[in-house]
Amino acid sequence: MTLVASPGRDYTGAGHVRPVRVEGNAMSALASDRRLGEAPAGRPAQARPFLKWAGGKGQLLEELSSRLPARFGRYFEPFVGGGALYFALHGAGRLRAGAGLSDANGKLIDTYRAVRDDVEAVIAHLSAFSNDRDLYYQVRAWRHEDLDPPRAAARIIFLNKTCYNGLFRENSRGEFNVPFGRYVRPTICDAPNLRAVATALRRVSLRQQDFGNVPDRVKPGDLVYFDPPYHPRSATSSFTQYSENGFGEDEQRRLARVVRELDARGAYVMLSNSDTPFIRKLYAGLVIDEVLAGRAINSKAARRGKVTELIVRNYGAAAPRRSRTARQGGSRAGRS
């Protein structure tokens, strides 16, 4: 059975959600009296990302949440990856107006759908796997298109948890080609979290689509967060092959045009990217904040460490004192 979705098709798990206004301060809603990712007393455990993804935003949640608008409508994340910000917002109760998650990587979206729609079957398949080198290469050789949705999802999760550095990389034929990792006791099947993820995705629209289609769905007051493959800081630092298609400077320029279009439509837009002159030039006129982030996915351990990244917004004012700010002009600078 082939499970590759048609681009642009909407897979909403449990019908449409009536939009409502979301009230409250972003930072206090997320972390006023508890740590990010920690469920309030009396509530089920908060869902966490179930995949390790290049450029995952778990470590930057506080920086991102402190820059969210106080109120927004629906939430859209066109490069969902591991979904760290989405799961944090869901756990904080800030997504009552609905959410749409999408990615160009069809296998990633297939995995999200399978966890949402048949999590117990995914858990059952995952529970049969172990951290074994021979098994890893056997499962890696399976064709995604030949598997039923829960088994295909279990394969992706298993490979992600046991491959080298948690990378998702494919060759020109769309075949996963990351070697076996060196983990001692990786958590292959985190059943409680997978069930929490399924609950968190219950009313979410999941689409395989290009980021350029997002403006067609966005209304004034909605929030769009872009976390694209980063522009390389050097000629040797690029990791943009997260699907069959790369993400070069032409795509970065196209993304910047989409950001400007959403700004003109009255949406709130926030974007993360590397701190390079190219990216600064693309987003001149918007609010640009520098933040420190650790980069864990690199083939050489010596090159993993703290680097500056940029958070770009079309709203808000200067960043908190702990981060340096490069404010250039001010599209929607007074909006919060």
300 band by pLDDT with thresholds 50, 70 and 90: low
Task: Express as a percent the part of the chain with pLDDT over 90.
Answer: 65
- Tell me the sheet residues that pair with 100: 76, 205
Tell me the three state secondary structure of residue 165.
helix
Range list of H helices, 141-273: 149-162, 191-200, 249-264
What are 168-225's pLDDT values in tens digits?
898 888 899 999 999 999 999 999 999 999 999 999 999 999 999 999 999 999 999 9
What are 99-125's pLDDT values in tens digits?
999 999 999 999 999 999 999 999 999
163 band by pLDDT with thresholds 50, 70 and 90: very high
Please state the rounded mean pLDDT for residues 58-66: 89
Contacts of 137 (CB under 8 A, 6+ apart): 180
Cα–Cα distance between 255 and 257 in angstroms, integer? 5
Domains, the chain? 26-104+209-327 (3.40.50.150), 111-193 (1.10.1020.10)
Neighbours of 50 (CB within 10 A): 22
Tell me the three state secondary structure of residue 235.
coil
Tell me the three state secondary structure of residue 234.
coil
pLDDT of residue 129: 98
Please state the rounded mean pLDDT for residues 65-90: 96
Question: Cα-flanking dihedrals φ and ψ of residue 329, to 5°?
Answer: 75, -150
What are 36-46's pLDDT values in tens digits?
444 445 555 79
pLDDT of residue 58: 73
Which one-letter amino acid corresponds to residue 74?
Answer: R
